[in-house]
Copies of this chain bind each other. A is one copy, B any other.
């Protein structure tokens, strides 16, 4: 039966079961997170002592709650979870998040407990995220169930599915403090006694708030269900997946971590390709690629133009492009002529663009602005990567022109990277990203990201 995700992503009423008055306890942090994100629905707390917590009176038990609460976030010790499910069901609560670890991921006793929990879930029909989940987030509804202190999570068009708590915790924290893009939904799957990746993927597929989907998985709960769903989703939305445990040693670590055996890697590789999912191999691509999609359109293909203040850089990066499966095509003749007209006659302008020459005549800002626009206009080009030279001596240009060009050419992505002084790079990022132009600190990164995104467009256009 399809999960009624409205109860998870748009709950009108929420109860925290295991609410705690003690700061830094998960049962306290989860309440703080809910408040920090500005949740506007009704919020109930359950605490055996019926304490007042953060200005709210707690109910002493689930039995004492009013009927028909949409969602319960359970922060109780593992052993109490099966009964909590039954108590929630009795109160008409149909959606539950289970935070506690201590189940099949630890030992045999935990496995037995997980079986008992699974029975409670099946018998009651309650839908469950977890256990051993760090919670879920829905910024369009200003709600999160995570117990890891997050503060206000910025909204945006990217949605994540993560098997592990790690993602919803410190990686999200990196994203909210180090990057300038936002998320729509995050679901930490945990041990998946009920809701699993296929359910969430199905929801994201039709979710108007979700433009692109990023998944971290260690195991597929039900590959026969997952891949057919994925095959349909990827025709409409880009889907990226980082799979833990792709090798024997990785699997060993995976076993230690979640008790989930890693499936045969090559089979997965083929299945992902067939399903149109772009496989990630680097942890950092979970946010570097997401950033490119949060504010820029998906590139229509793999034909790139880039601009650098150095022939040497152009050479190395052209090599990189080819090794990444990117094309560096010739410009149309009128683009070439235009670039030639702003450069000295002794150099023959082409793609990629050495802006050093026109910068010498017309200044750095002019050279980057005109060069970037010429590349954006050229029908042979799908994406443009300006490598901005930012040093005091060459003069740091105002970067508004990139924001303007992004608005003027909304169908082609611009990814910015830098060479020169660190302080100007940091300032460039702080200026451009909140205005919708993604930046990358290392020169290779936008190329790596483009190669991932271009593949995903190819998947979309398959028969």
Contacts and interface: CB of A to CB of B under 8 A. Distances in A.
A364 to B, nearest CB: 11
Contact of A389 (B107, B170, B389): B170
Contacts of A352: 253
Contacts of A334: none
Interface residues on A, range: 35 or more
A247 interface: yes
Interface in A233-288: 242, 244-247, 249-254, 256-258, 281-284
Contact of A257 (B257, B312, B322): B312
Interface stretch (A66-74, A171-179, A199-207, A369-377): A171-179
B166 A309 contact: yes
A311 B174 contact: no
A421 interface: yes
Q: Work out how many copies of this chain go into the complex.
A: 2
Nearest to A356: B166
B422 A174 contact: yes
A186 to B, nearest CB: 14
A346 B106 contact: yes
- Which of A216, A316, A322, A441 is the most central at the interface, judged by chain B CB atoms within 10 Å of its CB? A316
Contact of A311 (B177, B246, B258, B441): B258
B420 A281 contact: no
Given A174-B419, A422-B174, A315 B244 contact: yes
B393 A24 contact: yes
A204 B166 CA distance: 46
A337 interface: no
A347 B394 CA distance: 56
23 contacts: A107-B346, A148-B393, A163-B312, A164-B310, A164-B312, A166-B312, A170-B310, A170-B419, A170-B420, A173-B421, A174-B422, A177-B422, A218-B312, A218-B315, A244-B316, A247-B323, A250-B319, A250-B322, A252-B318, A253-B314, A254-B311, A256-B354, A258-B311
